[in-house]
Structure 1
Amino acid sequence: MKSIKILAVAALCTLAFSCNKKEETTSVENKDSAQATTVVEALSQESAHPDDAALVKEAQSKPLTTIAFSETDHNFGDIKKGEKKEHVYEVTNTGTNPLIISNVKPGCGCTVPDYTKEPILPGQKGKITLHFDSSNFDGAIYKAADVFLNVEKAPVKLTFSGNVIP
């Protein structure tokens, strides 16, 4: 078990610094890569950054509410290398207390978030926009951002994917 955690930490470190390097095109059909991704995703939830616990605690210190997203995953399709893309994720407060988005934490420096800072009243909508710079990438990309808000199961993960072409 200890060796799996060490391997997971090494994989996470590699992923954390991947924004500063060109990403190689990988095939989704590659079983080893797919299995490694699954292991890293599972263990990354287990070994979250210490600051994340504080962000969850802060978000959940407010009266909890419920939400509905228009979508939590977006596919940009083909992206020309160097293009800057953005996508707006719409969130609706379906609960009875104001919805407060306390932070949006992208997994990489290539993604910059923008979000509704004011409390979102019951029945109202807010927005979370993820801005992506494709300059340092080639091939398939898959990016995520954690959204910290006052709901029971926080953070909520928003993702996007695409294929960066030269």
Structure 2
Amino acid sequence: MDIRTSLKNNKLFILFILGSLIYLGYLTFTFGGRGKKVQVKGPGILFQNTFYDAGSIKGSTASSIRYEYHFENNGNEMLKIEKVKPSCSCSVVNFAKKEYAPGEKGFIDVTLKMGTLGRTISDVLIFSNSETSPDKLTIAASFDPITSARPEPFTLQWDEIAINDLNPKETKIYVFHRDLMDIEVAEIFSFPKSIETKLKKATGSIFRNQVGYYITTFYFDILVQEETPGKLEGKIRVVFSPDEVPEVEVPITAEIVPEYVISPHKAIFVFSSGINDNLSNRKIELYNVKKELFRYNSIDNPFANWLDAQVEIDEGLEKIIVYLKPKHVPDVQSLEGNIKINIQGLNGDKKEVKLPVSAKVI
């Protein structure tokens, strides 16, 4: 056997050995490792996918997308979904049930509402009794409301306005116009009057999108001055200049959460004319719902001629206690009003808490 034949046989032998090792590794993976699940101690939650991007969504009106994030309890104890927390009001989360046995599968349904031009992205935090809690899910999409190469002269879009406190909320109104022009806000009307709308800039910023539409964007601050707790529905109407730009009405919903809960909700005094022996004191507690740090400044008591008012601040800053003590029977048959308690936050913001008072002489 010559040297070349020997080398050739050695190469074939080496290739045979390598092939055998690869095949044995494949068999080991196929029959020994595949199908095994990684199980954790206690409750577990394992998502198939935590990020979904729907890409570019085109349409003539604002749209929404839905996606199901499937998961499995990969632990050996009961999994409990405690709560879900979206990062913005643009996403709505639903799930069928809260408890899942070991090995049981489920899904979280997320709907993303795309009310504005461009890209919308939202995170959803899933709080559970697993060690990985909170788990984060992300959903994203891009919305282009222009579908025609030669669009209508004007199209308007706006952000959904949902307010859950008394702080100003920024919103935007987009005016899509086919021809280049300067557009300004001429007038703003707010309904009801407790809704205050402030325009940040009278002339919007203009840019041109890929299909030839000019877009002017206006920025507004929406402030709800209503103090009565509950749900408030209203709208703002915006008139533009020049007149050929159509008006727009934007609906507003607000959930008014009181900063202080008064218990009892009102100080009521009933007197018998000319008799002082039934005068009784009142103790009113104003609970600090948000538990923000503050300091007491002063009290404005319009009934000081017949009613003494003393203020006590709870050490835990959870409530303000007001002690009301009548000095004598008031010289009017009935009256209504508010005692105003002036406080100041650590950031310097001044607030006024109103305590309703009524008195009646019979």
Q: TM-score scaled by structure 1?
A: 0.58
Q: CA deviation at 1:107?
A: 0.5
Question: 2:46: which partner in 1?
Answer: 68
Q: 2:87 aligns with which of 91, 98, 107?
A: 107
Q: 2:132 aligns with which of 125, 147, 153?
A: 153
Matches for 1:78-157 after TM superposition, within 5 Å: 78-80=56-58, 81-135=61-115, 137-157=116-136
Residue type at the aligned position of 2:88: C
Distance 1:131 1:161 in 2: 10
Distance 1:72 1:101 in 2: 16
Which SS does the other structure have where 1:152 is aligned?
coil
| Unpaired runs of at least 5, structure 2 | 1-40, 146-362
1:101/1:150 contact within 8 Å kept: yes
Q: CA deviation at 1:141?
A: 2.1
1:79/1:134 contact within 8 Å kept: no
Distance 1:162 1:109 in 2: 15
Greater Cα radius of gyration, structure 1 or 2: 2
Instruction: Please state which structure has a larger fraction of its residues in helix.
Output: 1
Distance 2:119 2:78 in 1: 38
Residue-by-residue CA offset, 1:3-31 (whole Å, 9 max, x unaligned): xxxxxxxxxxxxxxxxxxxxxxxxxxxxx
Which SS does the other structure have where 1:100 is aligned?
strand
2:124/2:138 contact within 8 Å kept: yes
Q: CA deviation at 1:72?
A: 0.3
Aligned pair in 2 of structure 1 residues 118, 147: CA closer, same or farther (>3 Å)? Answer: closer
Runs of 4+ in 1 over 4 A off after TM superposition: none
Over aligned residue pairs, what C-alpha RMSD do you find?
1.6
Question: 1:19: which partner in 2?
Answer: none
Which SS does the other structure have where 2:79 is aligned?
coil
Which SS does the other structure have where 2:99 is aligned?
coil
Question: 1:163: which partner in 2?
Answer: 142
Residue-by-residue CA offset, 1:87-122 (whole Å, 9 max, x unaligned): 000110010111111111100111010013241111
Residue type at the aligned position of 2:124: A
Instruction: Please state which structure has a larger fraction of its residues in strand.
Output: 2
Q: Relative contact order (C-alpha < 8 Å, sep 6+): which is higher? A: 1
1:100/1:117 contact within 8 Å kept: no
Question: 2:327: which partner in 1?
Answer: none
* Matched length: 103
Distance 2:96 2:71 in 1: 10
Distance 2:129 2:98 in 1: 13
Q: CA deviation at 1:132?
A: 1.2
Identity within the alignment, %: 31
Question: 1:32: which partner in 2?
Answer: none
Distance 2:109 2:132 in 1: 21
1:101/1:116 contact within 8 Å kept: no
